Amino acid sequence: MSAPAGTPYFSLLGPVQAWQDQAPLALGPPQQRLLLALLLVRRPGVVELDELIDGMWGEDVPRTAVGTVRSYVYRLRRVLGPCLTTQGRGYGLDVPDGAVDLAVFESEVGLARTRIAAGDLGSGAELLESALRRWRGAPLAGLPGPFARIQRERLAELRLSVQLERLELDLLRGRHDRVVPELALLCAEHPHHERLRSLRSTALERAGRPGEARAVGAGPSAVPDVPVPGAAPPAADTPGAAGPSTGAPLTGASLPVPAPVVAPGFARPSTGAPAFVTVAVPVPALPTPAQLPYTTSDFTGRRDATEDLLRALRPDGAETVVISAVGGIGGVGKTALALHAAHRLREHFSDGQLYANLRGVREDPARPESVLASFLRALGVVDSAIPEQVEERAALYRSRLAGRRVLLVLDDARDIAQIEPLLPGSSACAVLVTSRSTLPELPAALRIRLDVLSPADAVTLLGRIIGEARVAAEPDRALAVAELCGWLPLALRIAGSRLATRPGWSLAAFLDLLEGRRSPFSATAGGEDGVEACFLLSYELLGADEARLFRLLALPDQEDAEVADAAALTGLPRAQAEECLERMTGLGLLESPAPGRYRFHDLLRAFARARSAQEDGPGEQAAALVRLCDHFLASARNAYAVERPGHPVAGLLTPTVSAGTVASEPGQGHRLFTAQHQSVLAVAVQTVRADPASVGLVADLVLALDPVLDSSFLWGAMTQPARLMLAVARERGQTRAAGRLGYMLGGALYQLTQLDEAERVLDAAERDARGARDTAVLTEIHNCQGLVWYSRGVYDRSLELSLLAVETGERCGNAWGSGNARTCRAVALAAAGRLEEAAECGRVSMASARAASDPARLMYSLYALGGIARLQGRPDEAIAGLREATELAVRHGYSTFEVFNLVEETFCHLVAGRPRDAVATGERLLELADRKGWLFAQGRALRLIGTALADLGERGPARERLTRAVALLEPLRPTEASEARAVLDAL
């Protein structure tokens, strides 16, 4: 990892310093360097002004804090140049990871752990040593303030944990003489650290100094988490699984898994094969979810309601989940109260806080299954492990929350049906719900019906926004303004925002203006009298471009939008669109929940949509949505080209006006779209409904999302939108669009094991693609058809179709599609017992993937060849390839693929007659599957471990694991469950 030439290089692992072209940069006094450190630690995000002030001064904030921060930013920008950016009321540093020593350190440590997990202890240890050499003393040395103190403690703990890993590796590699003096120093620095004392005792014992080892007082255990080569690992006590599967777990739309053949009693090779060392690498803990949005610093009033919520929601040993509900009209401050109370309760919920805006009054309320998917991701479950049915998602969600102290905030709920699947089962959790309705069916321990602010609180809030001196100068006028705002916090904030930008205005003049605009609030905007006048006053301040953006930004069915989305909707340059968004945010017409993202309050969205209907009309509204889909398509095309190098589809998509968001490396594309794929699909459907002629554009958008959906296994979200758009394409006779949408729908149905419907849809897609001469997509259709027949066990038909896919791809120049089809063909050949042909086919595919520098396809081919080598009786060769595939998966973010490789590696150990190694690898597989929440992988892991334990004659542990395997696999893979039960019965 390195930074481009000319980029400043920053150091946090010691005194804060920077260099450019090896020359030191003058960073100014400690407080100025502290500001730089704050930006470096939080990069690439933006740090808001209030956060900077809090981190630099804590509670002792000087009056000049804002001016001081801006002065420091100005001075640093003169030194650092344009990489220090201003965004709204915040600042950020736009520098690559290779330009910050902390990021380089973390990258080297991550790569070291990958190498260690693959059994390459020497290379892993060298990388850890290289990472540790980057430290130049105490991190952030000499910097004042609470932020620096907290970061010093955090980074010191991080350094010590890496030192421990490297010391354990040295002991494992027999380098005890080297580590004795280092451990003596570390024990002196940390006299109460038991792990250090234990390691020092072990090192002294192995160095032939038993007396000193006893004096250290450590126990007899040496390095319990890192088995020594040749030593038998302790018997595991996790229940296990039956013999290997005859099923075919799937790795996405591209590749099924070779059918394993190992079964109880299968004749295995000699046990003289070399044992593989299994190293238990510490897995970084998942970050505790902290999803609460920001809360305003000028929160006013609501003292009794706040205290009631705090008392009701604090954990007190309740036997059931504590639920509190806050109701009230729109704009009354329900969300502000809920977030104010939730932030004050954070310390009582150490396992995190989850938040969801349920959009209850919108036309597109949040669906429970989508919210559950979001929560499960925050709790560490990968997309591929998230079940399709809402009931199964809810069950997994409650399992993940069991025993955890988590606060759940459900904002703007529609009804009890929307909320019920989201309620946890653990009494350690608490739930806070806001809603326009009273939700009488909700079993709430506390209900608060929020009224408008009292006159005194309303005037106080206005004063906090515009300045208390202005309110004190015209108290009667201030009260009148608050009354015209209906005492509503939302209206007061909008009116106050306008007054704050007009410091020369008197309240009397503003009151006259407000009186002139007052009218009953339209039903489309929510029904609260007095609010529309405030909206109009701020709306009328907007220039023509700003007003148009305000109206059009409210149209798409997405919760929030990026600057690029806004630019696409209007056709404005990005910089101008950002200026407009910031202007509207300053006027209170938009919120900015995160840097670069903007959203409406529900009342303001309704107001903006009503204005758009009056001023823009259906034609311009549809054109705006088409422009947004054009931008989405450009971004997805960029990602497609990187994820599938050499695939001609990237050049065969509808030309776009937008350049899109750039994806520069594999894995970046699916990270870009994974979080927003549902809103992109929703906007695509919305666009086709507004302008059916756009179906060709949106069909290409859906097709361009293929790598994203495949790598993250997000197929469940795609079926309904694809069906709706496919129907429009057929009605309009657009065969190319129909073929592409049919391919995507058929592939999704195949992944969801709906094979009969998948076959019908893919057959129709084949006819459409032939009619449109869309041979690049026809290649993929044939391959997917082959996978459907493979899953049915009809290998002859599968081989015919995969060969047709290879030939079609070669004729039309689709090297990616033909290479991928060749890999799938290799798997089908292996399943049909034609192992030599399978191996040759797989090797050709692997060579082409390497030549194309295509990590995704290379992973698939290495995985397939691993299964084939195992079936040919070469398990050690298989393991080497599988470990290479795992390293690629970790490096590029294809986390699900780690699971498949560990499954196959465990099979290989069983084939090689190494049940102890199979148990150890299976336990790693089980740990990873548990972390990802993948129930099928957990069942498979338990089954494999149970098989190995049965071979070892450890009947009790084997029986326990097999029992759990049967319970997990029964609803997911009945065939495997029955096989596991047969092994269990044999015990």
- pLDDT for 524 equals 33
Neighbours of 415 (CB within 10 A): 15
Contact 900, 251 (CB under 8 A): yes
Cα–chain-centroid distance for residue 719? Answer: 22
In terms of residues, how long is the chain?
987
Angle, CA of 159, 163 and 166, to the nearest 5°: 140
Model confidence pLDDT, tens digit, residues 926-970 = 988 887 777 778 888 999 999 889 888 898 899 999 999 888 887
Q: How far apart are CA 207 and CA 202, in angstroms?
A: 9
Q: How far apart are CA 934 and CA 326, in angstroms?
A: 36
Q: How far apart are CA 332 and CA 708, in angstroms?
A: 40
pLDDT at 657 over 90: yes
- pLDDT for 276 equals 33
Residues 6+ apart with CB under 8 A from 818: 779, 805, 806, 807, 808, 809, 810
Model confidence pLDDT, tens digit, residues 703-756 = 998 887 776 666 777 888 999 999 999 999 999 999 999 999 999 888 877 888
Residues 6+ apart with CB under 8 A from 87: 46, 595, 596
- pLDDT for 319 equals 63
CB < 8 Å & 24+ apart, contacts of 165-170: 165/112, 165/113, 165/128, 165/282, 166/125, 166/128, 166/129, 166/132, 167/199, 168/199, 168/223, 168/225, 168/226, 169/116, 169/121, 169/124, 169/125, 169/128, 169/226, 170/125
Give the range with max mean pLDDT: 198-202, 214-218, 931-935: 198-202
Contact 270, 913 (CB under 8 A): yes
- pLDDT for 256 equals 37
Burial readout 669-689 (b: 16 or more C-beta within 10 A, e: otherwise): bbebbbebbbbbbbbbbbbbe
Residues 6+ apart with CB under 8 A from 185: none
- pLDDT for 273 equals 32
pLDDT band for position 222 (cuts 50, 70, 90): very low
Contact 13, 132 (CB under 8 A): no
Rounded to 5 degrees, φ, ψ at 411 are: -95, 135
pLDDT at 914 over 80: yes
DSSP category for residue 44: T
Q: How far apart are CA 927 and CA 28, in angstroms?
A: 48
pLDDT at 377 over 60: yes
Average pLDDT of the residues in 342-366: 86
Model confidence pLDDT, tens digit, residues 752-797 = 778 889 999 999 999 999 999 999 999 999 999 999 998 888 889 9
Average pLDDT of the residues in 445-466: 87
Average pLDDT of the residues in 902-910: 90
Q: How far apart are CA 93 and CA 86, in angstroms?
A: 9
Average pLDDT of the residues in 303-312: 87
Q: In DSSP terms, which residues pair with 433 in a beta bridge?
A: 325, 410
- What does the DSSP assignment read for 132-155? HTT--SSTTTT--SHHHHHHHHHH
Q: Considering the chain, what is the average pLDDT of its residues?
A: 80
DSSP category for residue 555: S
- pLDDT for 90 equals 84
Rounded to 5 degrees, φ, ψ at 208 are: 80, 30
Q: How far apart are CA 494 and CA 21, in angstroms?
A: 49
- pLDDT for 533 equals 63
Residue type, 733: G
- pLDDT for 739 equals 96
Q: How far apart are CA 759 and CA 918, in angstroms?
A: 38
Model confidence pLDDT, tens digit, residues 404-438 = 889 999 998 988 888 889 998 878 889 999 987 76
Q: How far apart are CA 642 and CA 707, in angstroms?
A: 10
Give the range with max mean pLDDT: 179-188, 378-387, 653-662: 653-662
Q: How far apart are CA 156 and CA 780, in angstroms?
A: 51
pLDDT at 800 over 90: yes
pTM, two decimal places: 0.59
Residues 6+ apart with CB under 8 A from 443: 323
Model confidence pLDDT, tens digit, residues 56-96 = 887 777 877 887 888 888 888 888 888 888 877 788 888 88
Contact 184, 204 (CB under 8 A): no
CB < 8 Å & 24+ apart, contacts of 348-351: 348/313, 348/314, 348/315, 348/405, 348/407, 349/315, 349/405, 349/406, 349/407, 349/429, 349/430, 350/288, 350/405, 351/288, 351/404, 351/405, 351/406
DSSP category for residue 28: -
- What does the DSSP assignment read for 264-287? TT-----TTSPPPP---PPPPPPP
- pLDDT for 765 equals 96
DSSP category for residue 100: B
pLDDT at 304 over 60: yes
| 355 membership: H or E segment, kind and range | strand 353-357
Cα–chain-centroid distance for residue 826? Answer: 33
> Which tokens sit at 240?
């296990």
Tell me the CA end-to-end span of the chain in Å, nearest whole number: 53
- What does the DSSP assignment read for 201-257? HHHHHHTT-HHHHHHHT--S---TTSPPTTPPPPPP-S----SPPSS--B-STT-BP
- pLDDT for 220 equals 29
- pLDDT for 674 equals 63
Average pLDDT of the residues in 640-669: 84
Tell me the torsion sign for CA atoms 15, 20, 24, 27: negative
Taking alpha carbons only, the member of 55, 96, 46 closest to residue 597 is 46
Q: Pick the residue with more confidence: 981 or 537?
A: 981
Taking alpha carbons only, the member of 438, 541, 544, 563 closest to residue 497 is 541
